[in-house]
Each structure stands twice: as structure tokens, then as C-alpha cells.
Structure 1
Amino acid sequence: MLTYTGDATYDLVLSIALGFALFVAVAAWFVPSPYGRFASPRFGVALDPRLGWFLMELPATLSFLYFYIRGPHRGELVPLVFLGMWLLHYGNRGFYFPLSMRVPKGQRSSFGLLVVGTGVLVTTMHGYLHADFISRLGPQYGPEWLTDPRFLVGFVVYYISFGLTLHSDSILRNLRTRAEIDSGERIYRIPRGGLFQWVTNPSYLTELTGWAGFALCTWSLAGVFIFAISAANLVPRAFATHAWYREKFPDYPVERRALIPFIL
């Protein structure tokens, strides 16, 4: 077991989490996470994608708040800054994003129960590991941390990534018209504008850079875990999505890369 904080429970959960991230890093190359266009009835009862997203992301908020308020440093400045960053991210990803999805009427095929269950496991560990470290175990979070170069660089990267994620989400959301939603048609189009000029999966890219920024801000292995498991899931999925677009659309822009502009 990894010895990181000296707290046996925390270190055990962290070890399990990092081990699970390694498992996903291997498995995801063989089976893309089965939601969205890669959904499969083999993975349990199909749910409305809005409900699936909400259920999958909700534990990140609940778990974080539960463990955060139990920590002795919960009222200090730096932990409160991290609390605000967390609530902003999951206010968007866990609440606004699923509510704003333009789902064709009657669609129930994007999320299976297995996907939601796995997501709940990850987001629960994610919330616990960050909250307990930030409000109880982290030794470095005095007021001077706000001027540390690691915090400053991470903070800027995090919020630039957050803004770009919102823009990419908006472009994707507006590809589907209200008439198509009401008719139940499931139509795909080539997204254009913003970071889509260079990559097929800009929201995956900015999700990864955002979590990299947060890991730098917190300077913790909890941050390493969420970046690692996000990369383990999203990198293979980015390649699969890129291949899907190229196969479906003969006129797909040849200059676009899967994930990193001009490189990958």
C-alpha cells in the first residue's frame, strides 16, 4: 500500500484509486467507455443520458462536501478557494451540463447502469480524496500558498481550460435543432469553430488540461489520480471518436487531430 499521508484509510483508498486508474488505462484501449455514440445494451438498463450524467457526477459534489466540512481547516482561506473551484466545476458538469443537453425525444440509449455505477465509484473516491486532503491532511495550505508558483500557474491553466470547455460544450449543444429534438431524430453533424478547428475532441483536451491545472494547484496525489483516470478514459475515447467521424463523414477536415493540435 502507498504511504503518502500516514493516515491508513486515506492511503488505502488512494492506492486503490491509482490502481484502478492503471486498470482503466489498459482496458479503455480495448473497450471505449460505453456511453454516448459508443453505448451498448450489454452494459445494463439504458438510461436517459441527462439522468445518467447527473447520477454519475452527483457523488463528486456530495462526497466532497461531506468530507470537506468534517476537516479542521474547512474555514481557512486556501481550502475555501479550492471549495469554490470545486463547486464551480461540478455546478457546471454535474448540474448545468446534463440539464442543458439536447437529447432527442425518447432517447434512452446513451448510458447503461454499469457505466453510471463505475462513474459513481470514481467520483465518490475523487471527492473524498480531494476534500479530506484539502481540509484535513494537506500540510501546505497556509495563506502563502496563494502566491506559490504552483498554485498560480495551476489556477490560470484551470480557469482557461474551464472557459474553453464551456465554449466547446456550447458548440456541440447547438448542433442539434429544437425540431430534431422534438421529432426524436438522432442526427450527427461536424462541429466547427473554436478548438474544433484543430481537434475532434476539444472538451476532452480541456478536461485534461483543467485537471492538470487543479493537480498543480493542490500539489497532491489526489490531483494526480483524477488527471490519470481522466486521461485513461478520454485518450482512447478521443482516438475512437476521431475514427468514427472520419468514417461517417467523407468530407471531415483532414487537418484535425484527435486530441492535441498539430500533434496527436
Structure 2
Amino acid sequence: MALLDQSLFHYSLLSIYLIGPPTFISLKFLQAPYGKHHRPGWGPTISPPLAWILMESPTLWLTLLLFPYGQHFTNPKALILMSPFLFHYFHRTCIYPLRIYRNSKTTGGFPVSVAVMAFGFNLLNAYLQARWVSHYKSDYDGGLFWWRFFGGLVIVEWFGWAVMTWSWAGFGFLLYTCANLVPRACANHKWYLEKFREDYPKNRKAVIPFLC
């Protein structure tokens, strides 16, 4: 059973690295059709708030389901380390959909196809992060734990999460986030430039302030 779990974790970790490059390349040419980039032709749609709740939900229920089965379940450091992840996704799953509810009628529906892909990624990622923190991380007694935790806590996510967990799982999450969101940030920047033209600050950067 232990070998099966290790194999599942290993191949899941490999998967998050393999899906990053094709995600980045595809999003350089084709933006996911939701929010500012909403457009027809992507199949059935559902309410955006409902889509966000459903597709982000694995980060909560799967994490809470897996965590008690880890060998570090009773370790206070493991619980503390998992908390920022859960707080972020509680906001993402429960608070953010309520905030966009008022505007959802004017922004159009959310494609079910995109929501399903996001749901699949969140299943994979929640498994990796929860399983690493609760079971596979082995340096909770090391002297660098608190330095990494507080150092990561003040740095932009998910770079901060990668520092806090100090793991290939956390770093893989960071890389996939960049592969997914950097092209979208560039597309959003272009959208604002085209829509607001002279009223949009020309020196504003798409990804990193003052740099790019």
C-alpha cells in the first residue's frame, strides 16, 4: 500500500511538471474564454460564481480529506504550514464567488469545459500539496523550518508557498501558476491598452512592476 501511494505521488508530481509547458504555449495563442476574454463557441456555460465554487472546491475538501491520513497529521508545524493554503482557497472558493455575483450577469457565462479542466488541475494540485505537507515532508524538526515559513509568508504567492514547503510539489505549483497566469496577465494588459488607449498608464507592466 505504501509503494502504491509513493507511486501515485511520484506520477502526480511528474504530471504537474509535464502539463506546464503545453499550458504556457497554448495560452500564448488562445486565452481561456472567461472574464474579460469571454466569447462564445466553447460549449455550455454556467454561472461564473457557481463555476468558481465547483472548480476550486477540491482544494478544500480533498485537502481536509487527505490530511488526517498523513504521518504528520498531529504535528503542529504541519497544521500551521497547511493553513495559508487553506485560507487562500477558502477565499477563492467561498468569498470570491460572492464578490463577483453582482457582476456575473453582465460578464457572460463560464464555459463548463474550462471549469472541468480547472477542477482536474485542482484535484491534482490539492493532492500533491496536502500529501506532501501531511506525509512526505521530512524536515519539520530542522532549524530552517521557521525561517522558510515566515520568509515565504511575506513573499508573493505561490513563490512564497514554494519557499515555505521547500519541495518539488510547491515549486511545481509555482511553475504551473506562471505557465497559466503569465500569458493571461499579458493578455489582460493588452486588453486594457486597447480598450482605454491613452487613459491607460503606458509605463504599467503586465507581470512584474517596473520590469515586464
TM score, norm. by length of structure 1: 0.73
Secondary structure of 2:205's aligned partner: coil
- 8 Å CA contact 2:159–2:174 kept in 1: the answer is yes
Letter in 2 for 1:257: K
- Number of matched pairs: 207
| Aligned partner (choices 232, 246, 251) of residue 193 of structure 2 | 246
| Partner SS, residue 55 of structure 1 | helix
> 3-state DSSP class of the match of 1:42?
coil
| Structure 2: gaps spanning 5 or more residues | none
RMSD value, Cα: 1.8
**Pair 1:213-2:212 in alignment:** no
Give the TM-score normalised by the residue count of structure 2: 0.90
Larger relative contact order, structure 1 or 2 (CA cutoff 8 Å, min sep 6): 2
* Residues 35, 107 of structure 2: 8 Å contact kept: no
Pairing 1:96–2:77 present? no
Asked if the contact 1:78–1:145 (Cα under 8 Å) also holds between the matched residues in 2, the reply is no
Separation in 1, partners of 2:104, 2:122: 28
Which residue in the other structure is 2:153 paired with?
Answer: 155
What residue number does 1:140 align with? 139
Distance 2:104 2:194 in 1: 26
Residue ranges of structure 1 left out of the alignment (5+ in a row): 1-5, 158-208
Letter in 1 for 2:158: W
Does the aligned pair in 1 maintain the 2:38–2:108 contact within 8 Å?
A: yes
Paired position in structure 1 for 2:171: 224
Per-residue Cα deviation, 1:29-54 (whole angstroms, up to 9, x for no partner)? 01112211112322221121111111
Q: Determine what percentage of the aligned residue pairs are the same residue.
A: 31
Secondary structure of 2:28's counterpart equals coil
CA distance in 1, matches of 2:169, 2:33: 25
Match of 1:119 in 2: 118
The 3-state SS of whatever aligns with 1:254 is: coil
Q: Which stretch shifts more, 136-145 or 109-118?
A: 136-145
Rounded Cα–Cα distance in structure 2 between residues aligned with 1:139 and 1:72: 10
- Could you tell me how far 1:85 is from its partner in structure 2? 1.5
Residue 245 of structure 1: CA displacement? 0.8
Q: Is the 8 A contact 2:185 2:207 kept in 1?
A: yes
* CA offsets 1:205-229 (integer angstroms, 9 cap, x no match): xxxx211001100011111122111
Which residue number in structure 2 is paired with residue 14 of structure 1?
13
Aligned-residue offset at 1:104: 3.6
Report the Cα distance in structure 1 between the residues aligned to 2:207 and 2:184, rounded to whole angstroms.
10
